[in-house]
Amino acid sequence: MAVYELYSDADWIWNQRQTNPVVDQDIISFCGRSPHLIELAFSLADHGHTHVGHVVRLSQFTLADFANGDKNLAGQLRLNLQRAGLDTGMQLKGWVEPATDDD
């Protein structure tokens, strides 16, 4: 029997279809419409969290660490993720980082 408390609503939706294209978007482009989030996006990308799919797997506390302890900034990024049908702390079973065109 599944323990439903372990899943967020966003994870449940992801597990139903796994078709949210936002997870494949790079984090800098995702934050590009919110200039106050750009520095946070670059910090995340510098540490290997280059796609939205990487970032949604992080906890709210980890995002605050990347935002130099600014919980409000981390909260604003979370709000943008929620508007896209995602959230922080997701498991995203089955998601893999998209291939790059560097070849």
pLDDT tens-place string over residues 65-79: 999 999 999 999 999
Is position 62 within any domain?
Answer: yes
Is position 15 within any domain?
Answer: no
State if pTM tops 0.75: yes
Residue of 85, 87, 69 whose CA lies nearest to 77: 87
Portion of the chain with pLDDT greater than 70, in percent: 79
Is position 60 within any domain?
Answer: yes
Is position 88 within any domain?
Answer: no
DSSP 36-63: GGHHHHHHHHHTT--BHHHHTTS-HHHH
Is position 44 within any domain?
Answer: yes
Name the domain count of the chain.
1
Domain hosting 54: range is 20-83
Q: What is the mean pLDDT of each run of 10 residues along the chain (103 residues)?
A: 53 66 92 94 96 95 96 96 91 84 58
Both tokens assigned to 103 = 């070849």
